[in-house]
Amino acid sequence: MNIVVLDGYTLNPGDLTWKDLEALGPCTVHDRSAPEAVVPRAKDAEIILTNKTVLSSDTIKQLPKLKYIGVLATGYNIVDIEAARHKNIPVTNVPTYSTQSVAQIVFAHLLNFAHHTAHHAQTVRSGRWTSSPDFCYWDTPLIELAGLTMGIIGFGRIGRATAKLSIAFGMNVIFYDIAKSSSIPEGCQPAGIDDIFRTSDVISLHCPLTSETKKIINRERLEMMKKTAFLINTSRGPLVDEQALADALNNNRIAGAGLDVLSEEPPGENNPLMKARNCCITPHIAWATIAARKRLLRVAVDNVASFLAGKPQNVVNGVKTKDVR
């Protein structure tokens, strides 16, 4: 079966290999595909892999040979899964490849706020320590994490991994989740959402983007936060009302924000957070450690192999079996 990868570049910019996928059938890998290129490129494909290239109902209808869609990510909102189900096309995702990497970047942001390591190292490099009258100096408040309260919103896989790291740093952990937790790790306490905002020194977002969680960080909730508190968002940009957050940062309403995601990616120049005070933005890299991308590619290839063997795995649209002959 013909395999077409529509946008392979971010998963494999050259440091991984497609050979295991190529072993499964004739395979064409495109770095990225503009919307108008999708149908011409995929018209002979039985198997399509996509990361962020949209496969709408209209596009799926124009691909009569299509038998399988593999999403190269956990979130699959870019595929019209109902339109695929209607045509008995299984859509698969890769559920858990980046949990530890995402939890890790929460602390990359948090430790950056605690010590501003890169900033201080830059002042040393530019000669300031050499000419300092004292044996040390610092430009920003230096913060010890032990004893602070980490408030986690969304206590699933990444939320729990973040809790574990927080406990290792000596932080107290409170969490809010709409689902009742069957097991609560030692050192973690459930809390109401308003309590999370009022009492946390750090709030870290780990819930998915849904109609309920859109703008879960808004003006009213930012008003509830401690002036010394930090917000970390590694989940999805639209969880945050970006103008409200920019105002809260610029008005010293909260201490800082570490963001790996924005509402529009790549962001427009006018995004109010781009120049907000003490706002540190990384370009959606939490998932992209080499270890996580290796796991992602491995599972994506296994998903295709399982489909070809007639037993599709990690199916997200309820299409369980498919005659592949």
Min separation Cβ 185 and ligand NAD, Å: 13
Q: For residue 14, give both structure tokens.
A: 């050259």
Q: Which lies closer to ligand NAD via its Cβ, residue 60 or residue 76? A: 76
**Residue 178 within binding range of ligand NAD, rule CB under 6 A:** yes
Please work out the total of residues on this chain that contact ligand NAD, with binding judged by CB under 6 A: 31
Binds ligand NAD by CB under 6 A, chosen from 261, 279, 301, 315: 261
Per-residue binder mask for ligand NAD (CB under 6 A), 183-222, x = binder: -----------------------xxxxx-xx---------
Name the catalytic one among 221, 236, 293, 295: 236
Place of tokens 């390591």: 117
Give the pairing type, strands 202-205 and 279-281: unpaired
* First and final C-alpha spacing in the chain: 10
Please tell me the distance from the alpha carbon of residue 290 to that of residue 283, in angstroms, as a whole number. Answer: 16
Residue 227 CB-density burial (10 A; 0-12 exposed, 13-18 middle, 19+ buried): exposed
The beta-carbon contacts of 112-120 under 8 Å, at least 24 apart in sequence, are: 112/258, 112/280, 113/143, 113/230, 113/255, 113/256, 113/258, 113/278, 113/280, 114/142, 114/143, 114/144, 114/145, 115/142, 115/143, 116/140
Binds ligand NAD by CB under 6 A, chosen from 8, 154, 256, 258: 154
**Residue 316 within binding range of ligand NAD, rule CB under 6 A:** no
Min separation Cβ 109 and ligand NAD, Å: 11
For residue 30, indicate whether it is catalytic.
Answer: no
Q: Which helix (H) or strand (E) holds 101?
A: helix 99-115
Binds ligand NAD by CB under 6 A, chosen from 221, 236, 293, 295: 236
Please tell me the distance from the alpha carbon of residue 221 to that of residue 158, in angstroms, as a whole number. Answer: 23
Binds ligand NAD by CB under 6 A, chosen from 177, 195, 247, 302: 177
For residue 116, indicate whether it is catalytic.
Answer: no
Judged by the rule CB under 6 A, the positions of this chain that interact with ligand NAD are 74-75, 98-99, 102, 153-159, 176-179, 206-210, 212-213, 234-236, 260-261, 284, 286-287
Active-site annotation, residues: 236, 265, 284
